[in-house]
Structure 1
Amino acid sequence: MRTRKHFPFLISLALVLGIAATTEASEMNKETTLDARQKAIVTIAAFTTTGDTARLKPALNEGLDAGLTVNEVKEVLVQMYAYAGFPRSLGGIWTFMGVMDERKAKGIEDEMGKEASPLPADFNRDAYGARVRADLSGLKEVPKEDAPYQKFAPIIDTYLKEHLFADIFARDVLTRQERELATIACLASLGRAEGPLGFHMGAAMNTGLSKGQMHDFVKVLDAEVGKDEADSAGKVLAKVLEARK
């Protein structure tokens, strides 16, 4: 039987357990959700891909307000040309220029952020790109045997290694994880790109995005981009997660 003298102890215990539970929930939340900057990368990449400048404009503002630097936003927009094409990338850049003019007129001073670090004179783009692709694939070693598409069209393999995974990925304005997040947002919005989307979803997880964060990515698509895009991405993600078991 509990007496009144036990009440202070029980209250203290409840408070301690409550604080512990809140802390644990907070830590779990960090592991299972994307933060505001990451969500902004998703929407910026998605609306640049679809050419939806009406929705891209607020997404750009939200990204800057969430802490993305001007150069980080530029980098997402530039990278989109590799997946969505120059017209979409340039359209996004023009939209961003307009957003920056409006923010300056309102007296908003956004952080420019760092520029890309210079590459060494002896930078081996082929070797670097091959290593990056292997890392994103989750491989410890660069494959010695070419894939069928590499044998069929060797020049596309050169472009992938030397340009996409070297020229672009070597620019340290964004992390590999941020680049992969932008890529899967682009591919999910592009449509009919389930194969590349599956590869890059796996790559995104190989850069450190958790299973929960990947599910949250689909939720962001559903809430901000479109149900069809989210449903399609969710199906691809389910296959990726099953294959990773």
Structure 2
Amino acid sequence: MKSKPFLHRRILVAIKSCLAAFSFSADAAEPQKAAQIHYPLDSQETFTGPEALFSGEVQVKMLFPENDTAHYSGAYVTFQPGARTAWHQHPAGQHMVVTDGTALTGTRDGKVIEFHQGETVWCPKEIDHWHGATPHSAMTHLVVTGSKDGANVIWKEKVTDQQYLAAQKQQTVDIKILNKPQQAMVAIAAFTASGELQKLQKAVADGLDSGLTINEIKEIQMHLYAYAGFPRSLNALATTMQVIATRKSNGIADAVGVELDPLAGPQDSLAMGIKVQTQLAGQPVTGPLFDFAPYSNVLLQKHLFGDLFARDILDFKSREIATVAALANMPAVTPQLTAHIGIAVNAGLTHKQLQAIAQVLANKVNQASADAVTQALNNSNQ
């Protein structure tokens, strides 16, 4: 298919401008014959991606044009959820660098690459491809596009919904990267935090069947008092007690697990909490909020990190799986969820495992909680 010169000029502009090299006389007294060119913020064109070439809402913000010696241009392109380009190719190739969110790019052979903030994909010349956002989150990437013989893009037909959905299926995370007890923790924590006790009953039973012990489930629910409050924590514990009693009456003997004195804890909770908090955060925790309310951090250090995280029934990874899942299923806690994505990574969870938590939430809890984790991952640059 032939290129569309007019649209090509609007989307990835090939404007000629001179950026000459510095020139000096032999004695270095001669003045420079040309200056650097400054492109002030928003001095270049910004426009909406044409419907003929994009699906969904797309904004193109030009940054710099091609010139006589540098045969490439640059732009920020922002895709709203579900938006993508049409099929196209670049005669001289293109670099794509994600600056916010998660990007997808696919080729005719059906291969799809998912890449994240700070990551780059190079598309060689004359390869048909498309790129865009995931279905549930916006994405911005910087594109640096080469030109050949005055052309930098050849547009083709639009990507169909079927092709885009097929790419999503390919990108579905394999939740087996979390073992069965870890998967069970996700639903238990999410329903504990939301107070959905009928759903929690099944989640607890599934957790016991997956190999979680009674004490591990209790520990998850006690841990979450610091996030969801004592009422939700105590209601969850009562629900778990009922599930265990019912299973026992049906002849099911569930493993109790490691016993720990409920009053056991470090003699100096504050000192232990500061140590654990610093380890998980990656640095001492300070900031304007704790300048404003210093004792709030003392409470976090003593009770959350000293009295809860320091208990050894659950390791740090397990506590972060529970915490991320719980916060994802609670309204209006985006800053805390984003912070715990970073803490989870410091505790040893990988990006793929955090994606798997989102997938388990989508499968067993609800799509909104899954989207919350995905967005927090995008915001945290993990």
- TM-score category, normalised to shorter length: 0.7 to 0.9
Please, what TM-score do these two structures have when normalized by structure 1? 0.80
Higher relative contact order (CA 8 A, sep 6+): 1
Which residue identity lines up with residue 36 of structure 1 in the other structure? Answer: K
Structure with the greater alpha carbon radius of gyration: 2
| Corresponding residue for residue 143 of structure 2 | none
Q: For residues 217-236 of structure 1, what are the structure 2 equivalents within 5 Å?
A: 217-236=357-376
| Corresponding residue for residue 233 of structure 2 | 89
SS in structure 2 at match of 1:171: coil
| Corresponding residue for residue 182 of structure 2 | 38
Which residue identity lines up with residue 377 of structure 2 in the other structure? Answer: L
1:206 deviates by: 1.1
Counterpart check, 1:150 vs 2:294? no
Please, what TM-score do these two structures have when normalized by structure 2? 0.52
Which whole-Å deviations, capped at 9, do the CAs of 1:111-135 have from their partners, x for residues lacking one? 1111237446xx3222211111111
CA RMSD of aligned residues (A): 1.9
C-alpha distance in 2 between matches for 1:41 and 1:137: 22
Runs of 4+ in 1 over 6 A off after TM superposition: 29-32
C-alpha distance in 2 between matches for 1:65 and 1:217: 19
Counterpart check, 1:169 vs 2:313? no
CA contact (8 A) 1:49 1:189 kept: yes
| Corresponding residue for residue 111 of structure 1 | 255
CA contact (8 A) 2:175 2:359 kept: no
Q: For residues 202-241 of structure 1, what are the structure 2 equivalents within 5 Å?
A: 202-240=342-380
SS in structure 2 at match of 1:113: coil
Which residue identity lines up with residue 35 of structure 1 in the other structure? Answer: N
SS in structure 2 at match of 1:68: coil
109, 112, 124: which one pairs with 2:268? 124
C-alpha distance in 1 between matches for 2:205 and 2:323: 20
Q: How many residues align?
A: 208
| Corresponding residue for residue 188 of structure 1 | 328
Which residue identity lines up with residue 161 of structure 1 in the other structure? Answer: Q
| Corresponding residue for residue 99 of structure 1 | 243
Counterpart check, 1:70 vs 2:214? yes
Identify which range, 40-49 or 124-133, moves more after superposition: 124-133
35, 58, 83: which one pairs with 2:202? 58
Counterpart check, 1:138 vs 2:282? yes
Indicate the structure with greater strand content.
Answer: 2
Q: Which runs of 5+ in 1 are unaligned?
A: 1-28
CA contact (8 A) 2:175 2:356 kept: no
Q: Which runs of 5+ in 2 are unaligned?
A: 1-172
